[in-house]
Structure 1
Amino acid sequence: MEEMNTENNWREEQNFTLVVRKPCFGLPTACPSCLPLYLYLKFAQLPFHLDFCSIYPDSDQIPYIESGDYVAYNNENGGVIESLKKDGIADLDAEFKSVPEWISTKAMVSSWLGDAIMYELWVGSDGSSAKKIYYPDLPWPIGKVLFWKQSQTVMLQLGITKDNAEQKEEEIYNRAKIAYEALSNRLGEEDFLFENRPSSVDAIFLAHVLLILQALPETSVLRNALLEHGNLVKYAEKHKMEQIEAGSSSSSVPQFQSGPSSSAPRKGPSNWSSKPKSKSKREKTKEEKTFRKRAKYFVVAQLVSVLLFLTFMNRSDDEVELDDDDGYGYDD
């Protein structure tokens, strides 16, 4: 017991900072990659400060968590949650790793429901929700091009083409409905999906439900399918109140900042140090300087993309007009 208390005191002494995309739709962050991590840290009762990064909106390093020389990125080692578990910082899944049903449920939530939310954000809608989540501070033309580029990427990832678009859409929605039914039966009237205590599956699924209910329009197919399961809606509302809305102590509630992150991603040691380190003022690392330099060129690069995109579209329109003129040349 004394050893456990010592570990808890050590965790509280660390100055953890979670860097995510900006808040919107009444959520601390509406990014499908960031919100599950936020909820995982809350379930793990790991104190942290919340910070926002908007200077590089399409970075796959976001979200990331840092403390002193330690940093864990979204695009490394299977993601931040896996890094936290491996490094012994926060592991909610230790007792579930050998449970077949837990493993299959996590796979279903991560794949079927993960595909469904990405489809609705980037392919099955007008993109208004995605733009508010990822590009709220960018000029409209740049946001338009970035949305188009990402929608093409998502279609490629999901294997969607012009020939199979309707079939793929039906398949994605059918899988999501099956998943909702299975998860509704699994949850019942309990507070969590397994053994009435939180795991990473709860963090991932809860984030999905909150995004569906708050970030997608009333016409959303996923939203209407989810609303058929009252216990899932109740589950989301309960945990939203407890983990996002309730509480005011600094040990459990992150401190929100209105500006972008004051610290850029940086490399740290591969292993977590067992002793706390005092954080002192230091010079910017090479990785920080590189990150900020890339950020300066980001807007310029996207402006070039806009110009190329508009040029391509104008040329396409001209070719269509020429073809139309040729087609009517012999009707007189």
Structure 2
Amino acid sequence: MASIELDIWRGEWGLASIDLECLKVLTYMKFIGVPVRVREVSNPFFTPKGTLPVMKDGRTVLTNFEEVVDYLKSLNYSTDVHLNQKQAAEASAFTQYLRDKLYPAYQYVWWVDEKNYGDVTRPTYAKALQIPFNFYYPSKYQGAAKEMIDALYGEYADLKEVEKTIYNEAEKCLKTLSDRLGESEYFFGNRPSSFDAIVFAYLAPLVKTPFPNATLSNHVKGIANLSRFVARISQKNFRNVTDEYNRQNKKQSQGTQSERDAQFPNAARNKLLAAIFAALAMTGYAVATGMFQDMKDFQHSQDYREMFENEEDDN
């Protein structure tokens, strides 16, 4: 076996990759411990299908999860050897169930929801791509997602109804997953399977990505055993990614606090100057008002004296 290379989309927010398919393959490889050189690629244009991931082993080039699993199994790398026939059939059925019920919701969250797409998805993928592909690929992926949603739910005229239907089906799917996992560490006992890699790849981006419209993400986070499942795999298999993200977050928070601290003397000075200015203005106003009142009183007294003197002259 030559040195295996895996080309993937870059990571973000403590994820090893922002892409569902890349995360499937990468997680599976972590589970089986196969030596692999991972490369974050900024241009999928020259890949065999114009997509990522791409696994290379000598002249062997594979582009999807199922192909990778089968190929590595032929090299005696597999996480599914402990599954009996019934469990293998169950894993296959669950995988299709996720594809039918959770995948449309996943695509909707990432690509169809305009707020999520504009604030998170597009800038994240644009950041990972080179010019001019940062203009091309996000729009291409969004178009494909919209076509899929339209094909599945085209009978609904209102997009809000589509969203409601998609999320309802996804939430039922998540409930089924939660019930199946129970208190176990993995879905089929104490050892991970390829199905665990698939589930993690679906759930981790929903848990970690800071979507502004986070209905489905919040639902996943609210399911305790699924949240623990994501956290457990992240810590065991992507600890370096998680730790680096936490370090960067801490550094950024400290930097923000330092900026606030640096701004504090200026803010305090500005407040003090504003208070002094206000006091001077009020004093000036009071003095001016008093002087004006004195002038008015003086004028009134002058008028009164003149009037009094005129009365005396009349007498």
TM range (shorter): 0.5 to 0.7
Deviation at 1:197, TM superposition (A): 1.7
* Other-structure match for 2:174: 180
Instruction: Structure 2 unaligned segments of length 5 or more: list them.
Output: 242-315
Partner of 1:37: 25
Name the structure, 1 or 2, with higher relative contact order (CA <8 Å, separation 6+). 1
Q: Residue 60 of structure 1: CA displacement?
A: 4.0
> Which amino acid is the alignment partner of residue 235 of structure 1?
F
Partners in 1 of 2:136 and 2:129 — Cα distance?
11
How far does residue 132 in structure 1 lie from its aligned partner after superposition? 4.3
Counterpart contact for 2:12–2:18, Cα < 8 Å: yes
Deviation at 1:79? Answer: 4.2
Q: Is the 8 A contact 2:23 2:201 kept in 1?
A: yes
The 3 A distance-change label for structure 1 pair 93 and 60 is: farther
- Kindly tell me: are residues 48 and 149 of structure 1, through their superposed partners in 2, closer, same or farther at Cα, counting changes over 3 Å? closer
Equivalent position of 2:56 in the other structure: 66
CA shift, 1:179, in A, is 1.2
Residue in structure 1 matching 2:162, options 168, 192, 209 = 168
Task: Check if 1:92 corresponds to 2:79.
Answer: yes
Q: Deviations over 1:153-199 (max 9, x none)?
A: 21211225472533332221111101111111111111101133211
TM-aligned CA deviation for residue 55 of structure 1? 2.1
Indicate how the Cα distance of structure 1 residues 44 and 137 shifts in structure 2: closer, same or farther if over 3 A, else same.
closer
Q: Conserved in 2, the CA contact under 8 Å of 1:109 and 1:204?
A: no
Say if 2:43 and 2:129, in contact at 8 Å, map to a contact too. no
1:56, CA displacement in angstroms?
A: 2.8
Q: What is the TM-score with the length of structure 1 in the denominator?
A: 0.62
1:234 to 228, 231, 237: 228
Match of residue 110, structure 1, among 93, 96, 99: 99
Offset, 1:89: 4.7
Change (3 A) 1:119 1:25: same
Query: Is the 2:55–2:61 Cα contact (8 Å) retained in structure 1?
Result: yes
Report the counterpart of residue 260 of structure 1 in structure 2. none
* C-alpha separation in 1, matches of 2:41 and 2:131: 19
What SS is found at the alignment partner of 1:177? helix
Question: How far off is 1:218 after superposition?
Answer: 5.3
Distance in 1 between residues matched to 2:84 and 2:9, nearest whole Å: 30
3-state SS of 1:197 partner = coil
Q: Work out the percentage of aligned pairs sharing the same amino acid.
A: 23
1:215 aligned residue:
209
Task: Please say if residues 24 and 132 of structure 1, whose CA atoms lie closer than 8 Å, have aligned partners that are also in contact.
Answer: no
> How much has 1:30 moved relative to structure 2?
1.1
How far 1:109 moved relative to its partner?
A: 2.2
Which residue in 1 is equivalent to 2:308?
Answer: none
What's the C-alpha RMSD, in Å, of the aligned pairs? 2.8
2:78 maps to a residue whose letter is: D
Aligned length: 232
The change in CA–CA distance for 1:241 and 1:138 in structure 2 (over 3 A counts) is closer
1:240 is displaced (CA, Å) by: 0.3
Deviations 1:222-267 (A, max 9, x none): 11111221111111111101100159xxxxxxxxxxxxxxxxxxxx
Tell me if the contact between 2:43 and 2:130 (Cα under 8 Å) persists in the aligned partners. no
Structure 1: state its 5+ residue gaps.
1-10, 248-332
Q: How far apart, in 2, do the equivalents of 1:104 and 1:51 lie?
A: 32
Larger C-alpha radius of gyration, 1 or 2? 2
Name the counterpart of 1:131.
Answer: 122
Asked if the contact 1:180–1:226 (Cα under 8 Å) also holds between the matched residues in 2, the reply is: yes
Which residue identity lines up with residue 180 of structure 2 in the other structure? Answer: R
The amino acid across from 1:112 in the alignment is K
Shift of 1:203: 0.4
Q: Distance in 2 between matches of 1:81 and 1:134?
A: 27
Picking from 140, 144, 147, the partner of 1:153 is: 144
Higher relative helix content: 2
